[in-house]
């Protein structure tokens, strides 16, 4: 039997990034993937004969530049230029849409000139502030336990590197940091379509409404991502998100990583407080001195390690991680491309957002607090086959949409709720793209419950844990253990449940690998 230095559990993009990074540093690495192919929730899958769509994530807007560089992804076929940047289209029922062009609205069309200049100011401010937070998002979080007064102060000083912003800008930064997004938008903008779009972007993937304090952080999180050096830019890879994973996989394999699919891990073997290996479902046992879990933290500790190898307080913390998703995925096989009212051809290749106003998003959020879905859901739609005809039969079209709010713990249960929610979604789509209902050949709706089962994401949460202020940075995945190491020596976390969180960034995987290398693990 071959022996490995490190075993990575989970072949999602973060697991692969961690594997590749470790392999490039000279480790012998094995990746164990439970499913039949790697990629986790960032795959391209056939959901109807001849129709393929990205699994959950369907846009790339935050792949970490260090990941691109370290893994030489451009060499492995992943390359984007400005021409690939997709516009964001804020759909409107009663008028023409508003469009953000380039990297998150370098140019705004469809709005009044005063709104355009207000947006220019706000966009610059948002990017400036997101830029300040960026190092925090991409570095390993500070270690509170070992922090001396000096470190505290220097951490404060790092934060105050924002001094170069100038006094007033810094004051505004500190004021708005934990604010709700709706208030900030109301302070600076008037167009409800634009405000609706931004409110949607800030809350997408979280259990927050635009009026919830701290919701602005979601927007910063998005804008801290970049593509081709442009913050906030978004692209649709040719071949869907699976293409990203293919490139990462190629890089990993080139570095010598061995990948085994259909190899679900049943147990992480712990001996005297130290991870010693893993046991597969089929009973096969493999040993390695470093075990990296790139899957969900709760699954890792409660199922694979098991509570008896860890302390009660830690179990408590892990159980307290909020990870009940509110986001569903819709894949539609359409017999022809839909026509969204008022949207031009370029717009149809962009990201189409139904979020008519912040109030609408807030109203859509309300029922999710009580285990009910939004009767008028908000959503982000892409038509990937328009730019990449390989995804659908000729003349036909794929619609891929991310929908909110669809709470994981639906009171009536998703068996009963799913057809009703699909109906609500289709009604919403119909009012923006009349006739779309009749062109549906096949509809696949993945509720958070489906996502949980299919992608092994507890709670169906694509961040593997709510990405809110109290579950970020030093509190992610749990306080005291935010630096990728765990109470089990030799066991590390590398998934989206760790800092900085989800989205196809590769940052948790990269940071974890760097930590392991630094610890000479």
Name the residues that contact another protein, by CB under 8 A.
Answer: 144-145, 147-149, 152-153, 156, 160, 163, 167-168, 170-172, 174-180, 183, 187, 208, 211-214, 270, 273, 302, 306-316, 319-320, 322, 362-363, 366, 369-370, 468-470, 473-475, 479-480, 487
b/e 417-446 (16+ beta carbons within 10 angstroms → b) = bbeebbebbbebbeebbeebeebebebbbb
Question: Strands 6-9 and 290-293: what pairing?
Answer: parallel
Q: Which is nearer to another protein, 208 or 332 (CB)?
A: 208
Q: Which is nearer to another protein, 441 or 469 (CB)?
A: 469
As a whole number of angstroms, the distance between CA 107 and CA 119 comes to 9
- CA 140 to chain CA centroid, Å, is 18
Q: Which is nearer to another protein, 183 or 444 (CB)?
A: 183
**Shortest distance (Å) from residue 28 CB to another protein:** 28
- CA 495 to chain CA centroid, Å, is 11
In order of 103, 199, 200, 204, 347, the CA distances from 353 in angstroms are 16, 11, 8, 11, 11
**Shortest distance (Å) from residue 297 CB to another protein:** 15
b/e 144-167 (16+ beta carbons within 10 angstroms → b) = eeeeeeeeeeeeeeebeebeebee
Q: Which is nearer to another protein, 113 or 148 (CB)?
A: 148
Q: What is the 3-state secondary structure (H, E, C) of 283-300?
A: CCEEECCEEEECCCHHHH
As a whole number of angstroms, the distance between CA 410 and CA 367 comes to 10
**Shortest distance (Å) from residue 375 CB to another protein:** 14
**Shortest distance (Å) from residue 224 CB to another protein:** 18
Q: Which is nearer to another protein, 65 or 480 (CB)?
A: 480
**Shortest distance (Å) from residue 5 CB to another protein:** 24
As a whole number of angstroms, the distance between CA 65 and CA 334 comes to 35
Question: With contact defined as beta carbons under 8 Å apart, do 32 and 268 qualify?
Answer: no
**Shortest distance (Å) from residue 467 CB to another protein:** 12
- Residue from 72, 80, 78, 79 nearest 253 by CA: 72
**Shortest distance (Å) from residue 208 CB to another protein:** 7
Q: Which is nearer to another protein, 42 or 208 (CB)?
A: 208
Q: Which is nearer to another protein, 140 or 322 (CB)?
A: 322
Q: Which is nearer to another protein, 253 or 489 (CB)?
A: 489
**Shortest distance (Å) from residue 55 CB to another protein:** 29
Q: Which is nearer to another protein, 308 or 520 (CB)?
A: 308
In order of 302, 306, 412, the CA distances from 273 in angstroms are 15, 12, 43
**Shortest distance (Å) from residue 156 CB to another protein:** 6
**Shortest distance (Å) from residue 307 CB to another protein:** 4
Q: Which is nearer to another protein, 133 or 235 (CB)?
A: 133
- Residue from 460, 374, 514 nearest 14 by CA: 514
How many CB atoms are located within 10 Å of the residue 319 CB?
12
Q: Which is nearer to another protein, 243 or 488 (CB)?
A: 488
- Residue from 10, 7, 2 nearest 23 by CA: 7
**Shortest distance (Å) from residue 461 CB to another protein:** 15
Q: Which is nearer to another protein, 220 or 340 (CB)?
A: 220
As a whole number of angstroms, the distance between CA 311 and CA 211 comes to 37
As a whole number of angstroms, the distance between CA 257 and CA 278 comes to 17
**Shortest distance (Å) from residue 322 CB to another protein:** 7
Query: Does residue 305 come out as left (phi exceeding 0), alpha (psi in the -120 to 50 range) or beta?
Result: alpha
Tokens of 8: 């990575």
Tokens of 363: 């109203």
Half-sphere exposure of 341 (CA within 13 A, CB side): 15
């Amino acid at each position: 039997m071959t022996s490995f230095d490190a075993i990575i559990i989970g072949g999602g993009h973060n697991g692969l990034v961690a594997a590749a990074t470790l392999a490039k540093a000279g480790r012998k690495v094995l990746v164990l993937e439970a499913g039949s192919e790697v990629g986790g929730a960032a795959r391209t899958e056939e959901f109807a004969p001849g129709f393929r769509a990205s699994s959950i994530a369907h846009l790339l807007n935050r792949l970490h530049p260090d990941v691109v560089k370290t893994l030489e992804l451009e060499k492995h076929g992943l390359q984007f230029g400005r021409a690939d940047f997709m516009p964001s289209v804020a759909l409107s029922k009663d008028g023409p849409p508003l469009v953000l062009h380039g990297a998150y609205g370098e140019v705004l069309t469809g709005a009044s000139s005063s709104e355009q200049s207000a947006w220019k100011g706000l966009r610059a401010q948002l990017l400036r502030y997101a830029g300040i937070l960026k190092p925090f998002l991409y570095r390993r979080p500070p270690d509170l336990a070992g922090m001396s007064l000096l470190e505290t102060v220097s951490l404060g000083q790092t934060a105050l590197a924002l001094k170069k912003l100038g006094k007033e800008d810094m004051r505004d930064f500190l004021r708005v940091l934990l604010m709700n997004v709706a208030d900030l938008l109301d302070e600076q903008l008037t167009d409800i379509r634009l405000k609706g779009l931004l409110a949607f972007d800030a809350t997408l993937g979280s259990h927050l409404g635009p009026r919830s304090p701290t919701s602005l952080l979601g927007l910063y999180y998005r804008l801290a991502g970049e593509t081709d050096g442009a913050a906030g830019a978004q692209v649709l890879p040719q071949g869907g998100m699976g293409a990203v994973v293919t490139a990462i996989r190629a890089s990993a394999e080139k570095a010598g990583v061995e990948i085994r699919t259909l190899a679900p891990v049943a147990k992480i073997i712990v001996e005297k407080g130290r991870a010693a290996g893993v046991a597969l479902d089929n009973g096969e046992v493999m040993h390695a001195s470093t075990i990296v879990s790139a899957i969900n933290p709760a699954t890792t500790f409660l199922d694979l390690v098991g509570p008896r190898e860890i302390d009660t307080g830690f179990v408590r913390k892990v159980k307290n991680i909020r990870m009940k998703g509110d986001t569903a995925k819709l894949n539609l096989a359409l017999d022809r491309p839909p026509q969204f009212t008022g949207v031009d051809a370029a717009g149809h290749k962009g990201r189409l957002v139904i979020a008519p106003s912040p109030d609408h998003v807030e109203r859509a959020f309300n029922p999710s607090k009580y285990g009910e879905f939004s009767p008028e859901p908000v959503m982000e739609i892409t038509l990937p086959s328009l730019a990449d005809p390989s995804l659908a039969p000729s003349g036909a079209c794929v619609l891929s949409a991310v929908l909110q709010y669809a709470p994981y713990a639906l009171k009536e249960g998703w068996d009963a709720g799913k057809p009703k929610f699909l109906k609500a979604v289709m009604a919403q789509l119909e009012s923006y793209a009349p006739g779309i209902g009749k062109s549906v050949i096949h509809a696949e709706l993945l509720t958070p419950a489906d996502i949980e089962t299919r992608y092994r994401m507890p709670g169906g949460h694509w961040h593997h844990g709510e990405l809110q202020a109290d579950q970020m940075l030093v509190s992610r995945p749990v306080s005291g253990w935010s630096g990728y190491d765990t109470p089990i020596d030799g066991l590390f976390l590398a998934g989206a449940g760790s800092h900085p969180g989800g989205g196809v960034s590769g940052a948790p995987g990269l940071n974890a690998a760097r930590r392991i290398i630094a610890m000479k693990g």
